[in-house]
Amino acid sequence: MEQRKVLLAGGNLLQAHTWKGLLETSGIEVDLKGEALIGGVGGLPIEMQTVELWVMNTQLAAAQTLLDALEIEQPQWQCVQCHEINEGSFELCWQCSAQKSETHN
């Protein structure tokens, strides 16, 4: 079974479905995770309120290239070390320099 990686985490459900449809029409298999947890906003910790798009490792580069070509703004992410909010394009936290981590719901 091939491993999957998080392509995008964050954003809202409408954006996530739009990106998922776009990627699937280009032949990239996408799993949407965290959709059922959106109803728990306010009652769940912030790190569990994330919608994530997962793709196969072999399709990760193609999926990222497709989204980059469309100039899709990546959602902000929260550092797991210092909890600072960072822009989606940042690979390192601007506050503590920790690497962007893939949170798993």
Closest CA to 49 of 21, 17, 12: 12
pLDDT digits (tens, 9 = 90+) for 67-94: 888 776 677 888 888 989 888 778 888 8
How many CA within 13 A on the CB side of residue 14?
0
pLDDT digits (tens, 9 = 90+) for 4-47: 888 777 667 777 888 899 899 999 999 998 776 555 444 544 45
Cross-strand pairs, 8: 53
Closest CA to 8 of 48, 44, 37, 51: 51
pLDDT for position 28: 94
pLDDT for position 15: 79
pLDDT for position 102: 60
Whole-model pTM?
0.58
